[in-house]
Amino acid sequence: MKFAYVYLCLAFIGVAQAAEPNLASYPAHPIRVIIPLAPGSGADNAVRIVTQKMSQNMGQGFIVENLPGAAGLIGADKVAKASPDGYTLGGFNDSILTMVPNVNRKLPWNPIKDFAPISLAVMVEWGLVVPSKSPYANAGELIAAARKNPGQLNYGSAGNGSPQHMAMELFDSEAGIKMTHIPYKGINQTGIGVASGEVQAAFITLASSKTLVKSNRLKLIGVTSPKRALQYPNVPTIADSGLPGFEFSAWFALVAPAGTPQPIIQKLNTELIKALKDPTVRQQLLANGLNPVGSSPEELSKKIQEQLASYAALVKKTGIGTD
């Protein structure tokens, strides 16, 4: 019996050792990255640029899959329920992790408990857009019109709890105005909605609005950063053109399902930061209004928790929500 007990213990040790991740062979097959947003979004552009370099450096493919819908809920749920083996990752914007959980309390996943942070990837530059034929030339003129016509001006977003929604609620709150929210099914539809005049304004990433602005279907009347954007030096900041002190930034990060072994998290963190330091990658990101940053998993975790609290206060103040 004693011999059998020792043999059984050794067998369990063998199983435990076999379950440990083998970093020497990871990744042994392609890694799937789920983006819960439509193609062409800032996060989509960022993940494709960065994972292409990671693929070259790691010698393994990255399969990028867009699963948009319900402000990111569908794609995020796929990541949360995926096997925690390092072969399914999430390319999430901050909306999914910090905004949507504050306006929808019936989520099938928890932003803290169900995802393992890997690293921040980029900070995303945003702009305030209106139809090309809009009479508004800057944020101050839009604010003045909204004050004269409370609730009569509409703004678009990619859905309840999306960054576009939160940005405009913050804008309305600080300006002391009220515009009517019209949610669309994605960022591309939002841009088209503004361009067609269905809505009078929207906050959209500079990357997502680039084509419509360049084709003169949208007019960019302000940027949300503290300084003017490098690619639009003639466009004023919102703080300088009607709403002093206003800033809004968003970010994109890489996460894994909770329970993913820490050595794999660290491996992915190292490779992501290495890719972000590549001069060609940096140039591609900056050209799309995406500022490479990078972080430790711990720093990302802290940022998620702090921003969850910050948006909880905004939701409480404005009374927005989906349930």
If you average pLDDT over residues 44-72, what whole number do you get? 91
Domain assignments of the chain as residue spans, ordered by start: 31-124+250-318, 126-223
Model pLDDT, residue 262: 96
> Does CATH place domain 31-124+250-318 in 3.20.20.370?
no
Model pLDDT, residue 310: 86
- Under 8 Å between Cβ of 207 and 232: no
Could you read off the pLDDT of 143-181 as tens digits, one per residue? 999 999 998 999 999 888 788 898 999 999 999 999 999
User: Which CATH superfamily includes the segment(s) 126-223?
Assistant: Periplasmic binding protein-like II (3.40.190.10)
**pLDDT at 197 exceeding the cut of 50:** yes
Model pLDDT, residue 193: 96
Model pLDDT, residue 321: 60
Fold identical between 31-124+250-318 and 126-223? Answer: yes
Model pLDDT, residue 8: 37
**pLDDT at 222 exceeding the cut of 90:** yes
- Under 8 Å between Cβ of 223 and 237: yes
Model pLDDT, residue 6: 40
Which range is least confidently modeled, 2-6, 262-266, 269-273? 2-6
Could you read off the pLDDT of 80-110 as tens digits, one per residue? 999 999 999 999 989 899 988 988 778 899 9
